[in-house]
Amino acid sequence: MRWVKPSMFGNEYELRLAGRCVATLTVSGFFRPAGRGEGGGGCWAVEPLQRDSGKIIVRADKSFRDVGVFDMSLSDHAGILRTSEGHVLILNSDFWKGSAEFQSPTGEPLIRFRFHGLFRPSAEVEILGEGKCLRELPWILMLGWCLIVGYL
């Protein structure tokens, strides 16, 4: 899988699998951006919760139900995702290596992003181990890319 920016002008991204678009994400705003994504049978909004709180909320578009809260108040390059299903995932990133990874609390890699370029127009996405079993996978992929593009 690969996140790509089809046009250098604009703020839209596509998640491609075998050359086919399976999800879209639009990121808006420069400081503390928000995102709106669609794919995997749903639509989600990714929004900063409060000014300077370090929390980002993921909300299902149709039901307006909060499905996850990402807290990056402890670090600019990492954070903790808590889903409404009770899962806890840790996101670690390394700007210089061009990578970010969601892990289980025990450190097992679940979703890995390898991004390219200063403005991060694309990234390979790898879903590993138990990550393949996450029901929240579609919106976690969107949240991860939104964080990489706008926050990390």
Q: What is the pLDDT of residues 53-97, one digit of tens each?
A: 788 999 998 778 999 999 986 666 789 999 999 999 999 988 778
Question: Could you tell me which of 90, 22, 34, 33 has the C-alpha nearest to residue 61?
Answer: 34
Residue 51 has what pLDDT? 65
The residues, ordered by sequence, that sit 6+ positions from 103 with a Cβ below 8 Å of its Cβ are 89, 90, 91, 92, 109, 110
pLDDT in tens, 117-143: 666 678 999 999 999 999 999 999 999
Instruction: For residue range 15-65, list pLDDT tens digits in order.
Output: 999 999 999 999 987 777 889 999 988 999 999 887 667 889 999 987 789
- SS3 of residue 145 by DSSP: helix
In Å, what is the CA distance from 87 to each residue of 16, 135, 140?
26, 10, 11
What pLDDT shows up at residue 60? 93
What is the structure's pLDDT at 26? 94
Q: What is the pLDDT of residue 92?
A: 92
pLDDT for the residue 143:
94
* The predicted structure's pLDDT at residue 32: 73
Contact 139/57 with Cβ under 8 angstroms? no
The predicted pLDDT at position 52 comes to: 63
Q: What is the pTM of this model?
A: 0.90
pLDDT score recorded for residue 1: 94
Rounded-to-integer distance, Cα 108 and Cα 37, Å: 26
pLDDT on residue 119: 64
Q: Check residue 78 and give its pLDDT.
A: 86
- Rounded Cα gap, residues 116 and 122, in angstroms: 6
